[in-house]
Amino acid sequence: MSIKIDWKGKKAFEATSSTGHKVMMDASKEVGGEDRGSRPMELLLMGLGGCSGIDVMMMLEKGKQDVKDCQMEVTSERADGIPAVYTKIHLHVKVFGTDLNEKKVKRAVELSADKYCSVSKMLEKTAEMTHTYEIIEA
C-alpha cells in the first residue's frame, strides 16, 4: 500500500491512495487552516470505525444474520501535552436487524477488537481501547 500526499495551500493536504481514493486534510482555523478537510487524528478514528464495521459485517453476513444497518460511534480522549496522542478510545457498535443472534453479534465485535481489526490492534498500543455493542430490532 502506498499513499501520496499533496499540499493544497496553507495547511491543507490531499492524500491519494494507491487505489485512487482521495481524502482532504486540513488544520482548524485556530492554527492557520481553512477547515477544508478532516484532521489527521479524526481520520484515525474514522479508520477504526470503518475497519471494525467491515469485520463485524463480514462475520454477521457469514453467520447468516439479517442485518439492516450497522453504525459505529467512536469517542476518545487525548493527552494534554504534545504529542496529543489518544489515551482512551471507545467504539460502540449498533447493529440493526431482524431476529439477530446476540451471541453472534457479541462474538463479531469481540473478534474484530481482539483479532481482526488492524487499526484497533495498532491503536491499543498507546490508548486504552474499549468496545460495546447494541442490537436494535429493525
Q: 46 falls in which pLDDT band (50, 70, 90)? A: very high
Of the candidates 9, 16, 12, the residue with the CA atom closest to the CA atom of residue 35? 12
The reply to whether 25 and 52 lie within a common domain is no
The reply to whether 25 and 54 lie within a common domain is no
The reply to whether 49 and 117 lie within a common domain is yes
Question: H-helix or E-strand containing 43?
Answer: helix 40-62
The mean pLDDT value of the chain amounts to 97
Q: 110 falls in which pLDDT band (50, 70, 90)? A: very high
Integer Cα distance of 1 and 18 in angstroms? 6
The reply to whether 48 and 2 lie within a common domain is no
Q: Which amino acid is at 101?
A: N
Q: Which residue segment(s) compose the domain that 50 sits in?
A: 40-137
Mean pLDDT of 71-85: 97
pLDDT at 68: 98
The reply to whether 29 and 70 lie within a common domain is no
pLDDT at 129: 98
Mean pLDDT of 112-132: 97
Tally of structural domains, the chain: 2
pLDDT at 71: 98
Rounded to two decimals, the pTM is 0.93
CATH number of 120's domain:
3.30.300.20
Check: CB of residue 95 under 8 Å from CB of residue 112.
no
DSSP state of 38: B
Check: CB of residue 63 under 8 Å from CB of residue 69.
no
User: How do 86-98 and 128-137 pair as beta strands?
Assistant: parallel
The reply to whether 57 and 100 lie within a common domain is yes
- Determine the 3-state secondary structure of 123 from DSSP: helix
Q: 136 falls in which pLDDT band (50, 70, 90)? A: very high
The reply to whether 31 and 53 lie within a common domain is no
Q: Which amino acid is at 127?
A: A
The reply to whether 33 and 45 lie within a common domain is no
- Give pLDDT tens digits for 59-76: 999 999 999 999 999 999
